[in-house]
Structure 1
Amino acid sequence: MSNEIEIGRGKRGRRAFSLDDIAVVPARRTRDPRDVSLEWQIDAYRFDLPFISAPMDSVASPATAIALGRLGGLGVLDLEGLWTRYEDPQPHLDEIAALPADRATARMQEIYSAPIRAELITARLAEIREAGVTVAGALTPQRTQEFWRTVVDAGVDLFVIRGTTVSAEHVSTNTEPLDLKRFIYELDVPVIVGGAATYTASLHLMRTGAAGVLVGFGGGAAATTRRTLGIHAPMASAIADVHAARRDYMDESGGRYVHVIADGGLDTSGDIVKAFAMGADAVMLGTALARAAEAPGGGFHWGAEAHHSQLPRGHRVEVGSVAPLEQLLFGPGTTANGEVNLAGALRRAMATTGYLDLKEFQRVDVVVSPYQPQSEM
């Protein structure tokens, strides 16, 4: 059955769904939330929570990466951010938070024009390793060839290659592109790569040997990719498509399991629940963790797109500081807006629909039911 619709006589398009368009459906059985497991494992690394911090300066510092690791999640440091450009980035973080909206983009471009320093990459990753948590750092595909050796030598456990979109078949007549398949094959650490938003693109990334694929493009509270480039991938359909690609790749590869990690547009606990329902194994959180009292953004949130030197595709947005990180993850919540007790909400949703672990929960029934907040008031 095709879900293509006619846009005009000369163009047809596939109907896709955002997370707001779907809802999970309770079944005949319910569970005790205390019996539900949120454990997640990728390669040799096991986590009590399937939550990964987005590698953004407003979300992850070495200190918050350590704190998230100690609470059971995975912190990922942006190795092209302020922490690897400045010995002490705090004054710049404070300045970005205080900038008037009409000056934020231009000033951020100036601040991020400082060069990345290899010795700071080594120092920041060493700080995280000394704390005894899993070490993860992220580079864009454009910088991976320049700094990957520094990252590996620093003792990273998981290597993240993250861009707005990442292709296994990037073509350029000006520079030699990163050969992902050869790079991942020669690397001694597991690699998570993305974003991807289609069945075909994610299948090609899985064939490179990646341990995980990030799903998402043009989403997130701080991104304006849809307005700037006209490109957008509704997350519910994107996760389901990549989940299907993983299923087919398992058949193709004789059972090799590649983790599907939803990345972008996961603003509240309800979004997180629905990402798992669509087939995600873990979620990468930006806005949701930028609201933590300890977040380096100080109540503001931005990504690398917001300070791109030629074509900014994002904003610095105010998200507020709602709770300390531990309370943000485990509660108690003091409001009903889905911003606090993210793990508790996921656990309760799984229990309400009768599932004990995340892989089981991927089979939960869903309906297309566009969100209408006015009907709930």
Structure 2
Amino acid sequence: MSNEIPIGLAKNGRRAWALDDVAIVPNRRTRSPQDVSLDWRIDAYSFTMPVIGAPMDSVMSPATAIELGRQGGLGVLNLEGLWTRYEDPEPVLAEIAALGADEVSAENTRRLQQLYSEPIRAELITARLAEIREAGVVVSGSLTPQRTQEFYRTVIEAGVDMFVIRGTTVSAEHVAQNGDPLNLKEFIYELDVPVIVGGAAGYTPALHLMRTGAAGVLVGFGGGAATTTRRAMGIRVPMATAISDIAAARRDYLDESGGRYVHVIADGGMGSSGDLVKALAMGADAVMLGTTLARAEEAPGRGWHWGLEAVHPDFPRGHRTRVGTVAPLQEVLWGPAHHTDGSSNLMGGLRHAMASTGYVDLKSFQRVDAIVSPMGQQTR
């Protein structure tokens, strides 16, 4: 049955749902939260929660990547960010936090572009990744497709455990008129580390990315609360539908490949523990968090949040947005919570949701019953 609806005489559109439009339903016997496992494993690496820190300068520094690793998640450092452009980025981060309060001012954007115009230094990539490795946690860094060819050898030689290629939208072959195309299948085949790639928003592009040999596919366009991609480019990803579509691609690729499982990782649009719960219920194996972790006391953004989209030299499509500070990172992740809005004890929220619906592990939780309840129809 088609879910397309007419937009006009010449165009139909698919009906799609955001995470705010869906909810999970407890239709089984309940469990004790103590019986619930949040363990997640990708390739050779095991974690005690399905959380990846978004490679954004307001979220992940070497120190916060280390702390997230110690808390049981995976921190991914932005290798095109301030930590690889400046020997000491702390004064720059302080300046960004002190910019004018108007989130969308041209003056703020211009200053961000200037600060990010400093060149990326290969030796700083090596030094930052070495700092994370010395702490004994899983080491991961991120590049955009445009920068991958230039710096990936530096990243691999630095001893990265997992490599992330993250952009607004990533295809199996990134074509550039003035440079060699990035053929992900050939590229990933040559690497000795698992690669996570994205964003992808639909079944077909995700299936193509799975065929490259990627260990995981990011669902969404990143940026989260700080992105203005919808206004600047007319592109939007209703995450509930996108995750479900790409989970279907994972299922079909599992059959096509004879048993190779590719992880689906929801990336963006999850500002609370409830959003995280629903992303996993729609079929995600893990989540990449930006806004929720940017609220931690240790976050380098000092209560502000922005991504690479906000500092593009020619076409910025994001802004520095105020997210505030709620608690130390451990409390944000594991509690105890002192907030009633799902901004802290994210794993407690997930654990209680799984227990209330009768599931004790993440994979089985993907089978939870769901309903569609659009925002305009929801009641508290």
Same fold (TM over 0.5): yes
Query: 1:73: which partner in 2?
Result: 73
Corresponding residue number in structure 1 for 2:84: 84
Q: Report the residue type matching 1:304 in the other structure.
A: L
Corresponding position of 2:226: 222
Secondary structure at the counterpart of residue 226 of structure 2: coil
Tell whether the 8 Å contact from 1:197 to 1:216 is kept in structure 2 after alignment.
Answer: yes
* Secondary structure of residue in 2 paired with 1:366: strand
1:30 aligns with 2:30: yes
| Displaced runs of 4 or more, over 4 A | none
CA contact (8 A) 1:240 1:279 kept: yes
**Distance in 2, Cα, partners of 1:173 & 1:70:** 43
Q: How far apart, in 2, do the equivalents of 1:323 and 1:30 lie?
A: 30
SS at match of 2:187: helix
Partner of 1:17: 17
Larger deviation, residues 366-375 vs 241-250: 366-375
Equivalence for 2:158: 154
Choose 285-294 or 100-109, whichever is displaced more: 100-109
CA distance in structure 1 between the aligned counterparts of 2:177 and 2:154, rounded to whole angstroms = 27
CA distance in structure 1 between the partners assigned to 2:263 and 2:51 by the alignment? 13
Distance 1:135 1:245 in 2: 28
Q: Which residue of the partner structure matches residue 351 of structure 1? A: 355
CA shift in 2, pair 1:367/1:373, >3 Å: closer
**Paired amino acid for 1:296:** P
Taking a change above 3 Å as real, the CA distance of residues 302 and 41 of structure 1, as seen in their structure-2 partners, is same
* Counterpart contact for 1:52–1:284, Cα < 8 Å: yes
Distance in 2 between residues matched to 1:119 and 1:172, nearest whole Å: 26
Distance apart, 1:173 and its partner CA: 2.9
- What pairs with 1:110-125 in structure 2 (closer than 5 Å)? 110-125=114-129
Structure 2 counterparts to residues 1-377 of structure 1, below 5 A: 1-100=1-100, 101=102, 102=105, 103-217=107-221, 220-371=224-375, 375-376=379-380
How far the C-alpha of 1:218 sits from its partner, in A, is 6.3
Q: Distance in 2 between matches of 1:23 and 1:326?
A: 27
- Matching residue's letter, 2:4: E
Letter in 1 for 2:338: T
Q: C-alpha separation between the residues in 2 aligned to 1:328 and 1:208?
A: 35
Q: Name the CA shift for 1:43/1:3 in 2 (closer, same or farther; >3 Å).
A: same
- Measured in 1, the distance between the counterparts of 2:353 and 2:256 equals 33
* In 1, Cα distance between equivalents of 2:243 and 2:295: 24
Contact 2:167 2:222 in 1 (8 A): no
SS at match of 1:123: helix
- Identify unmatched segments of 5+ residues in structure 2: none
User: CA separation in 1, counterparts of 2:271 and 2:376?
Assistant: 16
TM-score of the pair, normalised by structure 2: 0.97
The residue type equivalent to 2:66 in the other structure is: I
Q: 1:222 to 1:348 in 2, by over 3 A?
A: same
Give the whole-Å Cα distance in 2 for the aligned partners of 1:2 and 1:124.
50
- Tell me if structure 2 keeps the 8 A contact 1:218–1:224: no
Give the Cα–Cα distance (whole angstroms) in 1 for the partners of residues 13 and 179 of structure 2.
Answer: 34
Amino-acid identity (%): 73
1:172: Cα distance to partner? 3.5
Shift of 1:335: 1.7
- CA RMSD, 1 decimal: 1.1
Q: Take 1:133 and 1:285, find their aligned partners in 2: how far apart are those partners?
A: 18
For 2:372 and 2:201, how far apart are their aligned partners in 1? Answer: 20
2:282 partner letter: M
Q: How far does residue 331 in structure 1 lie from its aligned partner after superposition?
A: 1.0
